[in-house]
Structure 1
Amino acid sequence: MILDAHSHVHDPLGAHLLSLDDAGEHRTVLFPTRAHPERATDLDSLHEEMGALEQALAGDSGDDGFALALRELDEALAAHPDRFLGFGSVPLGHPGAEIAARVERDVTGRGLYGIGELTPPPNRAALVEPVLRAANDHAGLPVVVHGSAPTTAEDLRTLAQLAARYPKVPLIISQLAGAHWMLAIELARAIPNLHLDLSTANIVLAVRLAVHELPTRTFFGSDAPY
C-alpha cells in the first residue's frame, strides 16, 4: 500500500482523487485547511487564497475558518472513507482545558486518526504542548506540526523537547523542516517518537539522508495541493 502522509482537502474533491489515482496512491492522510490555492486561476486570486495560509502561520486561530474547514473535512471523509484518513486540527493559544475539550469533540469525537496540521507562529512552538498533553490522554494520538518557514530552528528544538516529554505521542514535523532539515534529522535521531515527513522537501539530498538516517520514521507526503 502506498500512503500519502500529508495532504489537504481539495476543492473540487474529484481533482484530488484523480491525482491520487495518477500517482498510484491507495490512501492519504487528509488535513482540514482554510487555504485553497487550487481554486486560484491567476496570480491575483492565488494571493487572495494564500492570505488565509499566511494568517494561519501568523497564529490567527480563526474559529469561523476552523469550523468551515472541519465541515469540508467531514464531507470529504464521508464521501470517500476508503481513500482518506482524517486528521483534525485545533486552534492554539487557548487554555489547556479548552484544547482538551476540542480534541475530544473535533478529533476523537469525529473518529479521526490524529491531530494536524498545527501551525504555531514563529518562535512559539511551545503552544503545541497542551495539544500533546491531550493527545497523550487519548492513547497517544499522532500530532503533525508545520515544519517549513516560518518555523524556526528554535521551534524545532522546542518541538523536540516536547516530544521527549510525551514519549507516547508520535510527533511529526512536516515539510522535512524546510531549510532546517539537517537539524530536524539530528533531533529525530535522538528522540524515538519524533518523525519527519518529506512533503515539499527542496533538495533530493535532504530526502535521501532523511530516509537513510530514519528509515522507519520518515514518511512520504505530498502536501497536496501544494
Structure 2
Amino acid sequence: MIIDAHSHVHDPLADHLALLDEAGVDKTILFPTRPHPERARDLAGLKLEMAALQRALSGRQDGYAAAIEEWESALAAYPDRFIGFASALDRAELRGIGELTPPPDEAASIEPMLRAAADRGGIPVVVHGAAPTTAKDLRTLAELARRYPRVPLVVSQLGGLHWMDAIEYVRDNPSMYLELSTASIVFAVRLAITELPERALFGSDAPYGDPVLARATVERVTRPGEVRDLVLGGNAFRLIS
C-alpha cells in the first residue's frame, strides 16, 4: 500500500484525487489548510494565498472554521482515500494531530498536544519541519519526544534547511519519524532513508509538493524491495494502525 503521509485539502478536490491516482497513492494523510496556493493563476494570486499562510503561521484564527469544514467534507466524501489529521481534538474521526506550526523558537508550546495525544492512546503528532521551524525548535522537539515516548512525533519536510540535524534527532529518538516532502537536495532523502529505514515517511506536502515527483524521488534513491516499501507506505501504515 502506498501512503502519502503529508497532504493538504485541495480546491477543487478532484484535482487532488487525479494527482494521487497518477502517483499510484492508495491513501493520504490529510490536513486542513487555510491557504490554497493551487488556486493561484498568477503571481498576484499566489501572494494573496501566501499572505493567508503567513497569518496562519502567526497564530491568527481567521479562516480556521472554513478550513475544518473543507477537511471534513473531503473525509466524508472519500473515507477510503483520506486519513484525517487535525488539531481539532473533539472530532471522533481524528487519526492524528497536526500539522502543528508553532512560532519560531517556540516548539515547546506543542506540549499540550503531545499530552492530549498520550491521553488518546498515543496517536501520532505531526509538526511542521521547514521554516519557520528553527534548529532550536528541532532540538526542543527531540526533548519533547523523550518526555512523551509513547507518542509518535513526526517532523515534516525533512526538517527544512536543518535536515542533517533532523536526521540525527530522529535517529536517536525511537518515537520520532521524519517525513520526506519538499526536499531541495536529493541526497538528503537518500541519507534520511539510509539512517531511518523504518521511520522515514514518503510524503508530498501537496499542493506545495507533487505526489508524483515525491514518489519518484524516493524510488530514485532506493532499490526495489523492503526498504522502499516501508518508506512508501509500510512505515505510515504502522504509524496509524
TM-score, normalised with respect to structure 2:
0.85
Q: 2:152 aligns with which of 166, 170, 177?
A: 170
Query: Is 1:31–1:89's contact at 8 Å kept on the other side of the alignment?
Result: no
Q: 2:190 aligns with which of 208, 217, 220?
A: 208
Q: Residues 71 and 110 from structure 1, CA distance in 2 versus in 1: closer, same or farther, beyond 3 angstroms? A: farther
Matched residue, 2:4: 4
Answering whether residue 10 of structure 2 is matched by residue 28 of structure 1, we say no
Q: Offset of 1:117 from its aligned partner?
A: 0.4
Matched residue, 1:183: 165
Matched residue, 2:57: 57
Q: Residues 33 and 179 from structure 1, CA distance in 2 versus in 1: closer, same or farther, beyond 3 angstroms? A: same
- For 1:116 and 1:203, locate their aligned partners in 2 and report how far apart those are by CA, in whole Å: 25
Matched residue, 2:103: 121
Mark the runs of 5 or more structure 1 residues left unpaired by the alignment. Answer: 91-102
Provide the identity percentage: 64
- For 1:89 and 1:12, locate their aligned partners in 2 and report how far apart those are by CA, in whole Å: 23
TM-score, normalised with respect to structure 1:
0.90
SS at match of 1:75: helix
Matches within 5 A, 1:26-175: 26-58=26-58, 60-62=59-61, 64-90=62-88, 103=89, 105=90, 109-175=91-157
SS at match of 2:29: strand
- Matched residue count: 208
Q: Offset of 1:56 from its aligned partner?
A: 2.0
Matched residue, 1:95: none
Answering whether residue 206 of structure 2 is matched by residue 224 of structure 1, we say yes
Letter in 1 for 2:72: D
SS at match of 1:88: coil
Matched residue, 2:225: none
SS at match of 2:85: strand
Instruction: Calculate the aligned-residue CA RMSD, in Å.
Output: 0.9
Structure 1 moving runs of 4+ over 6 Å: none
Letter in 2 for 1:154: K
Letter in 1 for 2:132: P
Deviations 1:73-101 (A, max 9, x none): 110011111110011125xxxxxxxxxxx
Letter in 2 for 1:21: D
- For 1:116 and 1:183, locate their aligned partners in 2 and report how far apart those are by CA, in whole Å: 21
Deviations 1:174-201 (A, max 9, x none): 0000010000111111110011100101
- For 1:7 and 1:47, locate their aligned partners in 2 and report how far apart those are by CA, in whole Å: 21
- For 2:161 and 2:179, locate their aligned partners in 1 and report how far apart those are by CA, in whole Å: 14
Query: Is 1:163–1:169's contact at 8 Å kept on the other side of the alignment?
Result: yes
- For 2:56 and 2:175, locate their aligned partners in 1 and report how far apart those are by CA, in whole Å: 26
Q: Offset of 1:113 from its aligned partner?
A: 0.6
Deviations 1:194-219 (A, max 9, x none): 11100101101100000000001000
Matched residue, 2:216: none
Letter in 2 for 1:6: H
Matched residue, 2:223: none
Letter in 2 for 1:87: F
SS at match of 1:121: coil
